[in-house]
Chains A and B, each alone.
Chain A
Amino acid sequence: MPGGGTDPNLEELARRRARRRSVLDFITADLKRARAQFPASFKEDLDVHETAIRELEQGLDAAPPGAECAAPLLDSVEAGGDHLNTLKVAQQHFKVIHAAFACDRTRVVTFMWATGASRLALSPLGTNNLHSTSHENNRSVLSQAERWFSEHTAAFIADLAAGTDIGGGKLIESTLVWYINEVSQGHDHSFNDYPFLLFGGANVGLVNRGRVLDVSGQGKTSNDVWSSLAPQFGGSLTSFETEASGGVPGLFG
């Protein structure tokens, strides 16, 4: 429902809530009948099921649709400078992204911490020029820099996990965050054995979250990840200008 919290959108959301509540009422009645019939040994499973249905109901009752849909309060920050100023700029972007998702103004965002081949200075971490440090292949400093970027990215993901979606539930439930570096190896600009990190909630189709899926040596590329994730968002990607092999089996289901 791109367009945000307009009256027609909010009316449609109210109708959706009514439909889901009607279905949940029926499931709850069926759970009650099941509890009367099923053996006592199954009580624990029914308790879990009942809790799940209650959570779905509470999701309907939580924040009214669009409660978080508001223009973000932004700080005035000049671009440029060191990593600490870069963080301030990034945090303004994160507020805009959060608001855009919460209002359903967009469904796709690309965010880069800095430009490609960035010469960002992270002096306390041991580099005044991240690009040069990557060519020096100073693993210790590079690891600290990666950790710094990742910790602040994690804060943004946690913010999505706390934020309420316009249709109910949390923003992260329907959001997939694909977190990657510019290259797999900085010193030789390699793209081989590229680690990707995917974060997402229950609705994005990730199979068995909290795991490592090793597809090294199988000729998989980032195009294959795109092929596999596109259907989760109602799309289809079948051809690319560069190498692809049809997807990554077992990633989404």
Chain B
Amino acid sequence: MRLLSGLVVLSATLSCTGSVGDADDKPSTTVSPGGSGGGGAASGGTTDPQNWAPVVACEPTLPVKVTRLSDRHLAHALRDLLGLAAPPPLSTSSSSSEQFLPNKAAAVDGAVATKLRDLAERLALEVTTPGHAYASCGTDEPTCANAFIRDFGARAFRRPLQEAEVTELTSVYGVGRSSYGQHVGGIRLVIEGLLQPPSFLYQTELGSGTAQPRLTQPELAAKLSFFLRDGLPDSALRDAASAGQLETQQQVLQHVDRLLGTDEVKWNVSKMFVRLFDLERLQLTNKAKTVTEFSPELVDSMAEETRLFIDATLWQRGAKLSELLASRETFVDARLAAIYGVPAPAASGFSPVTLNAAQRAGILTHPSVMTHANFDPFGVATKLPTLRCPTRGRTPLYTPTLARTKSTIGCLRISCRGAEPIRTWRS
């Protein structure tokens, strides 16, 4: 898990060339000729013998970044913010909720703005019905309203509100109180107002604006949380950001490790790999009738193997992230045992097995990934850029991690056509 921690911190704070997964868990910076590794200014330091530009250990720089929340993140943010039982269904961008890297969400045009307005009005009504916590005020109403605006606003915007914003929202509260009626009506309109502006809809990485730019602590908390929790920062992370306790790498890692210890984050991180290999759509895989060993039950077994493998590798064995690409340890049931050419488990269900190191290595050689990646031959090139189908006369499967197996991986019967089996070892 420390490996993953390193990955998170690097992505959040550095844009210089870094290496992920060093054994000592320290993010390392490397130098590039002419600073071409995305690095910062170079001054002094070593000079390449072939007259390259002088290079030094690069200074971290922060690429200023603004992105509209994907539908998945937006729905999860609404769930977290409003305490909903489930994320509301949303369709404001072209990205599927299961995409690993969502497409850039298009700008908020008239249709999206209208959808967001209607959604905000519906949800605000839902969470201010009698009996809901927002519906009551124990002290005087102006105090309640002010406290609500500051707390709810800070959670929605993932940063403390500016005083101007508090003033404006107090005005919104007044209109709502008058129009909807009573304190709860004011709260309802404040909620409507906070679910639609850019500060809620866009994730910003603008930094602190200092000489050595870094993410602000609220920005860092939000980035960590959307990555690990797939939603808004929890109270501990929010409090830490507010108290300035996300300053050091150690402080950040404490929260990363805390979050990685929770079931929801484990589930989400595991789900990242399902999304990465598009395995949600594995059930759509089909083969020609001539491939008699193929069946929906076999597809179920493939999916379950990969789920068990990810779970065991990441969360039970405490293995390095690279083991996902290199491990020979996996799980088989009777159906998959026949595919792998290993003895079937004595009992029904799945049992651990160690595969032949000359034939298989990690998740990329799982029947699930190989079957699905070849389901759409044109998808192979786009989803797994280093994976090429040999039957189309391209380069055999090759990744840096699997370079040593390059010559043998090609012997796996990778097929680009539905009429051919795709996942058995050809001796």
Which residues does A use to contact B, with CB under 8 Å?
15-16, 18-20, 22-23, 25-27, 29-31, 33-34, 37-39, 42, 44-49, 51-53, 55-56, 169, 173, 202-203, 205, 207-208, 253
Contacts and interface: CB of A to CB of B under 8 A. Distances in A.
Given A38-B66, A38-B204, A202 B110 contact: yes
Contacts of B168: 25-26, 29
B112 A23 contact: no
Interface of B: 64-66, 68, 89-91, 94, 107-115, 117-118, 120, 162, 164-165, 168-169, 171-172, 175-176, 179-180, 189, 192-193, 196-199, 202, 204, 206
B66 A23 contact: no
Contacts of A23: 117, 120, 172, 189, 192-193, 196
B68 A45 contact: yes
Contacts of B120: 23
A50 B110 CA distance: 9
A34 B168 CA distance: 15
A208 B164 CA distance: 38
Contacts of B197: 26-27, 30-31
B189 A253 contact: no
A49 B107 contact: yes
A22 B110 contact: no
Nearest to B198: A34
Contacts of B169: 26
Main secondary structure of the interface of A (DSSP, over half): helix
A202 B92 CA distance: 11
Contacts of B189: 19, 22-23
Nearest to B65: A39
B115 A202 contact: yes
Nearest to A15: B179
A22 B176 contact: yes
23 contacts: A16-B179, A19-B180, A19-B189, A19-B192, A22-B171, A22-B175, A23-B192, A26-B169, A26-B172, A26-B193, A26-B197, A27-B193, A27-B196, A34-B202, A38-B204, A45-B107, A47-B107, A49-B198, A51-B109, A56-B110, A203-B118, A208-B91, A253-B90
Question: Which of B110, B117, B165 has the largest count of A CB atoms less than 10 A from its CB?
Answer: B110
Given A23-B192, A39-B64, A49 B108 contact: yes
A26 B199 CA distance: 11
A47 B110 CA distance: 12
Contacts of A56: 110, 113-114, 117
Given A44-B107, A52-B108, A202 B66 contact: no
A207 B110 CA distance: 15
A22 B169 CA distance: 9
B111 A18 contact: no
A52 B202 contact: no
B181 to A, nearest CB: 10
Given A16-B179, A34-B198, A56-B113, 5 more contacts: A19-B179, A31-B197, A38-B66, A45-B68, A203-B115
A39 B172 CA distance: 29
Contacts of A18: 175, 179
B129 to A, nearest CB: 16
A20 B117 contact: yes
B107 A22 contact: no
B109 A37 contact: no
Given A19-B189, A34-B199, A202 B114 contact: yes
Can you list the 5 inter-chain pairs with the closest CB atoms, starting with the nearest?
Answer: A30-B197, A253-B91, A48-B107, A52-B113, A45-B107
Nearest to B167: A29
Contact of B110 (A16, A31, A37, A51): A51
Question: Which of B112, B165, B168, B198 has the largest count of A CB atoms less than 10 A from its CB?
Answer: B198
B313 to A, nearest CB: 32
Contacts of A202: 110-111, 114-115
B346 to A, nearest CB: 40
A253 B114 contact: no
Nearest to A27: B197
Nearest to B200: A30
Contacts of A29: 164-165, 168
Given A26-B169, A253-B91, A173 B175 contact: no
Contacts of B196: 23, 27
A53 B192 CA distance: 14
A203 B117 CA distance: 10
Given A15-B179, A22-B175, A37-B204, A52 B110 contact: yes
Contacts of A52: 108-110, 112-113
Nearest to B179: A15
A19 B175 contact: yes
B113 A53 contact: yes
Contacts of B68: 45
Contact of B108 (A15, A25, A48, A203): A48
